[in-house]
């Protein structure tokens, strides 16, 4: 039977990962804007990949369930790449929590019920989650294990508790990593694996929005703090994803790889440390 790889958010990172893990498989590209999925499909199909497209709003359960049905109709789902999200400069607090936190939990829950034995997945989180101060043990467990439909009702996510869009983004991305760890236990029962990657500044349209937004100066300082004084590339993220999703990464699950050129280290212990 055909193997299917689902790529949710087929932007630059999603496409780069699809090129590495989608060879010989059916690649289903899903985006909130169908034209984005179709543009990515044109590129990949021209390069020899078998591709279909779908429209999905990850913050809507009905959309995610429809995507699961479309994917399973194509074949055994052996790969899930979740690279969709919004940044602090792109959306208000409520939208960030709903898309980046709730949406990720919903995708993991839905595809965790159908992932094939031997399958694997990767969630694109963010270095931002690593720069959030420590949460309590209870908060960590709540982000990791609260039922999906109750997640946004957690007291520390209530209006007035989240200070700004950056705080919402950091909470969401910390939540992604915690959720992956908890979901890895459930995915293991199906003989499948799930991991996260927390990239630093990767040169994508989202990163350009941030560089040109109100936090642009801070972004440029972070780039200067990296080992090579540059932003990362989607292909570098894809190389890590291919390792984690492939046979060479078969002993890796429930994990998160921080790949930011050393920015988080500089934030906690170096020149980027808060004064």
Residues classed as catalytic: 169, 173
Q: What is the CA radius of gyration of the chain?
A: 18
Q: Which long-range contacts (CB under 8 A, 24 or more apart) does 248-253 make?
A: 249/120, 249/193, 249/195, 250/193, 252/193, 252/195, 253/120, 253/184, 253/187, 253/188, 253/193, 253/194, 253/195
d(C-alpha 78, C-alpha 140), whole Å = 29
Residue indicated by tokens 């291919």: 242
Residue indicated by tokens 């908060």: 139
For residues 194 and 104, is the Cβ–Cβ distance under 8 A? no
Helix (H) or strand (E) holding 203: none
């Amino acid at each position: 039977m055909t193997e299917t790889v689902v790529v949710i958010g087929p932007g630059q990172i999603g496409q780069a990962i699809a090129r590495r893990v989608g060879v010989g498989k059916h690649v289903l590209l899903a985006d909130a804007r169908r034209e984005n999925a179709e543009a990515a499909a044109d590129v990949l199909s021209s390069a020899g990949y078998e591709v279909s497209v779908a429209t999905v709003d990850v913050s809507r359960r009905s959309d995610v369930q429809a995507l699961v049905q479309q994917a399973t109709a194509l074949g055994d789902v052996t790969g899930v790449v979740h690279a969709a999200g919004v940044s602090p400069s792109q959306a208000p607090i409520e939208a960030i929590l709903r898309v980046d936190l709730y949406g990720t939990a919903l995708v993991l829950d839905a595809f965790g019920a159908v992932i094939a034995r031997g399958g694997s997945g990767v969630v694109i989180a963010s270095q931002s989650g690593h720069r959030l101060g420590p949460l309590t043990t209870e908060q960590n467990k709540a982000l990791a294990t609260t039922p999906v439909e109750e997640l946004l009702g957690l007291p520390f996510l209530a209006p007035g508790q989240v200070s700004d869009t950056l705080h919402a983004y950091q909470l969401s991305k910390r939540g992604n990593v915690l959720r992956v760890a908890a979901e890895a236990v459930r995915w293991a029962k199906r003989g499948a694996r799930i991991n996260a990657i927390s990239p630093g500044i990767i040169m994508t349209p989202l990163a350009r929005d941030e560089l040109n937004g109100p936090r642009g100066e801070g972004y440029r300082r972070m780039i200067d703090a990296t080992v090579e004084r540059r932003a990362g590339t989607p292909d570098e993220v894809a190389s890590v994803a291919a390792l984690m999703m492939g046979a060479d990464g078969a002993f890796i699950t429930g994990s998160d790889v921080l790949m930011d050129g050393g920015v988080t280290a500089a934030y906690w212990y170096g020149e980027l440390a808060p004064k």
